Amino acid sequence: MTESSPTPPSPELRHRIMAGFIGNVVEWYDFAVYGYLAGVIAPVFFSSANPTAALIGTYGIFAAGFIMRPLGAAVFGWFGDRYGRARTMQISVMLMALPTLLLGMLPSYQQAGLLAPVLLVLIRLLQGLSVGGEFSSSATYLVETAPDGKRGLTGSWANIGSMTGSLLGVAAAALVTNTLDEQTLSDWGWRLPFLGGAILGIAAIAIRRNLHNSERFSQHHENRDETSPLLQAFTTNRRETLLALAFASSYGTCYYIVFVYLPEWLSAQELLSRGTALLINTGMMLLVIPAMPLFAIVGDRWLRRRSWIAISLFLLTVVAWPLHAWMLSSGGSLYVVVLAHALVFLLLAIPLGSAPALFVEMFPESDRLSGYSVAFNLGLGVFGGLTPMIATSLIATTGVVTAPAMYLAVTAFIAVLALIAMPDRSREPLR
């Protein structure tokens, strides 16, 4: 589709959106289930002689999935720029769905000995590889095939899928945890959410089966040269790649502090119980999901996308420390905590909704997916993924309990600086 093309028929557009949405649901459903059930899974796949070591090993395997993301980004980014976004999306979702099914069928340590954790490692590595290509591929496809003037709105469905998958994963894990007794859960109950995830994966494969590349990709592909898209991203378009990496790293840090670390901080400061903090966090996700497409429309129609995102992150820079200090001084007042959460979550809903289109608009067709994938997965997956550890270390080192809030403010400001250095192409045809 070119920028001047008419809006696709509604059924076609819905199919494209669903295809982009469903893969991210599958991806984050699995990661949420695994993270939630880590304590249950640990004794299944590791020796019960040392429960602590077993849990560490289980979380280590969880982290291994993230470590594979940059490699997956490089592989799938190159493949998508060479052979098309549609085919890449089909392969990535299969590489996520099949291992999810296999994980639910793996033998235990008691049944297979050391083979059990080895198989678990291999499955998580394969899933991590697919994750590196899934989000950026689907976001790129959504934005490239979006109707005129709706790139932000259409691209927001990638992150809507991620959030929805996380919520479904938490819900599935909580369901088996709260309905089955401890022994049943340990014996076979933990497998049910993974088998359920495989059903989601099969649905995703079916939806993506008949996807076609955009007309603009097909036209470009006919005339492309033999230059490696990955090499081009770090040579010809090096500036775009480095700016995208800087933005993804800082914006990813903000995301992990707010969405992942904040419940732990509230619990550690004895402001709220961990259960209550997680419940508030889940409720905020329900607030963010409808907010993302609404805020994305603002970037499509009224404010230029770069400016809109920069405003939100600058406001986050300003309010980060005062809101943490307010929660601390309130002694954990539920009213204060919920209000502070609502504000920071809504501010982050703006880049969550609009950033997929921003990333896609930065790069030319020839290396768009390579540049986007590598920058996004290195920034969000690696730098962002270290955030909980860094935030905890800052408190331990400085003795200042609001140090994570200062870290949040600094990284949000760095994201603003990266945005200022970027060109704004939200009103221009894709290159």
Backbone angles phi, psi at 4, to 5 degrees: -90, 0
Chain segment 395-410, per-residue pLDDT in tens: 889 999 999 999 999 9
pLDDT band at residue 15, thresholds of 50, 70 and 90? confident
For 209-304, where are the alpha helices, taking DSSP H only?
Answer: 215-223, 229-233, 238-256, 262-268, 274-301
Query: In the structure, what pLDDT confidence band is assigned to residue 33 with cuts at 50, 70 and 90?
Result: confident
pLDDT at 165 over 80: yes
For CATH 1.20.1250.20, list the domain ranges present in the chain: 1-224, 225-431
How far is 143 from 353, CA to CA, in rounded Å? 12
Query: Would you place residue 413 in the very low, low, confident or very high pLDDT band (cuts 50, 70, 90)?
Result: very high
**Architecture of the 1-224 domain:** Up-down Bundle (1.20)
Q: What pTM does this model have?
A: 0.87
Average pLDDT over residues 168-190: 89
Strands (E) located in 77-149: none
Query: Is residue 9 predicted with pLDDT exceeding 50?
Result: no
The CA distance from 236 to 224, in Å, is 15
How large is the average pLDDT for residues 48-74?
68
pLDDT computed for residue 6 by the predictor: 47
| pLDDT of amino acid 153 | 96
List C-alpha distances in Å: 349 to 80, 125, 252, 310. Answer: 28, 30, 13, 12
Most confident of 66-75, 114-123, 187-196: 187-196
Q: What is the largest CA-CA distance in the chain?
A: 65
pLDDT score of 379: 83
pLDDT tens digit string along 247-298?
A: 999 998 999 899 878 988 998 899 998 788 888 988 999 999 999 999 999 9
33-37, 106-110, 260-264, 341-345: which has the highest mean pLDDT? 341-345
Tell me the fold of 225-431. Answer: Growth Hormone; Chain: A; (1.20.1250)
- The three-state secondary structure class of 377 is helix
- pLDDT attached to residue 170: 85
Dist. CA 289–CA 267, nearest whole Å: 25
Q: Which residue would you say has higher pLDDT here, 54 or 391?
A: 391
Mean pLDDT of 187-216: 85
Tell me the C-alpha distance between 167 and 162, whole Å.
9
Average pLDDT, the chain: 85
